[in-house]
């Protein structure tokens, strides 16, 4: 299904909805070709190829909203689904904030989201990627005894949207990824090293060997890990773990949580909530990145939004519904069914991760976290962790079975160093950073 065909189906659904009694309607059609392979040792454990088409629509009837999703895109199937959605709207309460946006994207720039090499890659080459990662992890270190699987996946997607306010637009995108998870035996302990790479374009992926060797390093570098003493020390979050911290922060700046009172940032726009090292941006217009698109899930233009600037909270992130509810404007962050990140990231600093470690006389480098314990309302953060103890500006020995804990207001205010290792391999990313002091709970 090409873009014009997808747009035609979306427009047809909107026309059918309005003809059935809707006062406004919006339809999004996506067509996707997806491939996934998983290997373990010299065997293919999973091999999937799917081709799918789906329509999602929002129907508005005099302040009442209903939604539908269907994969039957025939004229008869659309007509039946739309009629049912209009009927269902009668049983929904009136919501003064539920309506189409007032304005839509008027420019649809080519953001370089589609890669022909990814879309046309030979299946045998994709399968070989997964098998080769299995071979490399075992050849790299004799202590690797097994794996949780090596994966290659890709997708080519066409997205089209139309609504009754006159907006229509479409774009194509691709995505590819490689990942592996070797299991190494450390006496009675199994150490699993997860590592992966993802990008819009095939040539931007890390090569098979680099992914496999990094995963092995992550598995074996914690051999002989000990549990540290309980202490208050500087904590450095390596970039993958730092991205998970930022993902938690996104929940606090989402207007959906703010409107519900489920955010420690309620009422704090304009306040200093972090150190001068903290500038956080959401940008949906960065060419070629995984979180980029010319319009969001409601047809609103994506944009660059500075959320925190040099420690000061500048804005929350909104879709149309919560913008209306809170008296603001959409920031182009609608997923079509909520609020989500575009490219949400902490601006990088100038030092390397190695320099941050060298500047830390005594502290902890966190390489992995376990579990989930973030409370958006209070800003409380707590995770099980693994990593290294730092002594004299060097990695002294591996540590595990400890907990790092703090509160986001103190954590953000305590960021005193940000590295330059930002890499856009997801929609939420971060460079490594150091918090001046946190509680490490161990022995």
**Which residues touch 395 (CB under 8 Å, ≥6 apart)?**
357, 365, 388, 389
Q: Check: CB of residue 62 under 8 Å from CB of residue 94.
A: yes
Rounded Cα distance, 163 and 156, in Å: 24
Rounded Cα distance, 392 and 422, in Å: 26
The domain segmentation of the chain, as residue ranges, is 3-220, 231-244+348-441, 267-346
Q: What is the pLDDT of residues 32-88, one digit of tens each?
A: 999 999 999 999 999 999 999 999 999 999 999 999 999 999 999 999 999 999 999
The two tokens of residue 31 are: 């067509």
H helices of 310-418, where?
A: 320-326, 353-358, 408-413
Rounded Cα distance, 164 and 22, in Å: 10
Q: What is the pLDDT of residues 283-339, one digit of tens each?
A: 999 999 999 999 999 999 999 999 999 999 999 999 999 999 999 999 999 999 899
DSSP run (H or E) holding 374: strand 374-375
For 205, counting Cβ atoms within 10 Å of its Cβ (0-12 exposed, 13-18 middle, 19+ buried), the class is buried
Give residue 187's pLDDT: 86
Pairwise pLDDT comparison (90 vs 270), residue with the higher score: 270
Q: What is the pLDDT of residues 335-382, one digit of tens each?
A: 998 999 999 999 999 999 999 999 999 999 999 998 776 788 889 999
For 152, counting Cβ atoms within 10 Å of its Cβ (0-12 exposed, 13-18 middle, 19+ buried), the class is buried
The two tokens of residue 21 are: 């009694």
Second CATH level (architecture) for the domain 3-220: 2-Layer Sandwich (3.30)
**Percent of the chain having pLDDT more than 70?**
100
Is residue 190 helix, strand or coil? strand
Average model confidence (pLDDT) for the chain? 95
Rounded Cα distance, 251 and 226, in Å: 33
Q: What is the model's pTM?
A: 0.94
Nearest to 207 by CA among 307, 136, 308: 136
In angstroms and rounded to an integer, the radius of gyration of the C-alpha atoms of the chain is 24
E strands in 71-194: 144-163, 168-186, 189-192
Dihedral angle over CA of 220, 224, 225, 231, nearest 10: -150
Nearest to 182 by CA among 129, 210, 146, 152: 146
Buried b (16+ CB within 10 A) or exposed e, 222-241: beebeebeebebbbbbbbbb
Q: Which residue has the tokens 């299995």?
A: 134
Q: Which residues sit opposite 70 in a β-bridge?
A: 55
**Which residues touch 298 (CB under 8 Å, ≥6 apart)?**
26, 100, 101, 319, 320, 330, 334, 336
For 83, counting Cβ atoms within 10 Å of its Cβ (0-12 exposed, 13-18 middle, 19+ buried), the class is middle
Give residue 268's pLDDT: 96
DSSP result, 274-338? S-TT--EEEES--TT-TT--SB-TTSPBP-EEEEEETTEE---B--HHHHHHHT----S-B-SSS
Give residue 303's pLDDT: 97
In three-state form (DSSP H/G/I as H, E/B as E, the rest C), the secondary structure along 19-71 is: HCCCCEEEEEEEEEEEEEEEEECCEEEEEEEEEEEEEEEEEEECCEEEEEEEC
pLDDT at 401 over 90: yes
Nearest to 340 by CA among 243, 253, 245: 253
Per-residue confidence band for 443, with pLDDT thresholds at 50, 70 and 90: confident
Per-residue confidence band for 1, with pLDDT thresholds at 50, 70 and 90: confident
For 51, counting Cβ atoms within 10 Å of its Cβ (0-12 exposed, 13-18 middle, 19+ buried), the class is exposed
**Which residues touch 110 (CB under 8 Å, ≥6 apart)?**
none
């Amino acid at each position: 299904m090409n873009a014009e065909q997808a747009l035609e189906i979306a427009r047809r659904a909107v026309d059918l909805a309005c003809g059935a009694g809707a006062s406004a309607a919006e339809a999004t059609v996506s067509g996707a070709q997806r491939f996934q392979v998983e290997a373990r040792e010299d065997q293919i454990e999973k091999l999937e190829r799917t081709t799918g088409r789906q329509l999602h629509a929002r129907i508005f009837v005099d302040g009442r909203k209903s939604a539908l999703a269907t994969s039957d895109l025939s004229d008869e199937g659309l007509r039946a689904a739309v009629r049912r959605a209009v009927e269902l709207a009668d049983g929904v309460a009136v919501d003064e904030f539920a309506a189409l946006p007032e304005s839509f994207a008027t420019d649809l720039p080519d953001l370089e989201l589609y890669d022909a090499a990814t879309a046309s890659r030979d299946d045998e080459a994709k399968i070989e990627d997964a098998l080769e990662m299995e071979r490399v992890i075992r050849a790299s270190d004799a202590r690797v005894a097994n794996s949780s699987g090596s994966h290659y996946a890709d997708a080519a997607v066409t997205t089209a949207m139309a609504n009754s306010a006159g907006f229509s637009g479409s774009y194509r995108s691709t995505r590819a990824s490689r990942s592996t998870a070797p299991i190494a035996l450390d006496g009675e302990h199994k150490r699993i090293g997860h590592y992966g790479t993802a990008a819009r374009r095939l040539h931007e992926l890390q090569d098979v060997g680099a992914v496999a060797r990094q995963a092995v390093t992550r598995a074996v570098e914690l051999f002989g890990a000990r549990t540290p003493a309980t202490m208050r020390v500087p904590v450095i979050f390596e970039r993958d773990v730092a991205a998970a911290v930022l993902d938690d922060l996104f929940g606090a700046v989402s207007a959906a949580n703010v409107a519900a009172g489920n955010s420690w940032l309620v009422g704090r726009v304009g306040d200093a909530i972090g150190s001068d090292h903290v500038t956080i941006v959401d940008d949906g217009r960065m060419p070629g990145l995984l979180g980029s698109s010319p319009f969001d899930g409601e047809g609103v233009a994506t944009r660059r939004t500075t959320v925190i600037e040099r420690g000061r909270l500048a804005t929350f992130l909104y879709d149309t519904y919560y913008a209306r509810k809170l008296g603001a404007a959409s920031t182009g962050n609608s997923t079509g069914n909520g609020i989500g990140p575009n490219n949400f990231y902490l601006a990088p600093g100038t030092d390397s991760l190695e320099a941050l470690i060298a500047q830390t006389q005594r502290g902890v480098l966190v390489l992995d976290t376990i579990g989930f314990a973030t409370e958006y309302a209070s800003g409380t953060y707590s995770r099980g962790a693994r990593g290294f103890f730092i002594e004299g500006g060097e990695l002294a020995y591996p540590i595990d079975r400890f907990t790092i804990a703090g509160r986001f207001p103190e954590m953000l205010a305590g960021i005193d160093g940000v590295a330059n290792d930002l890499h856009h391999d997801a929609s939420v990313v971060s460079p490594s950073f150091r918090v001046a002091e946190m509680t490490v709970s161990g022995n």
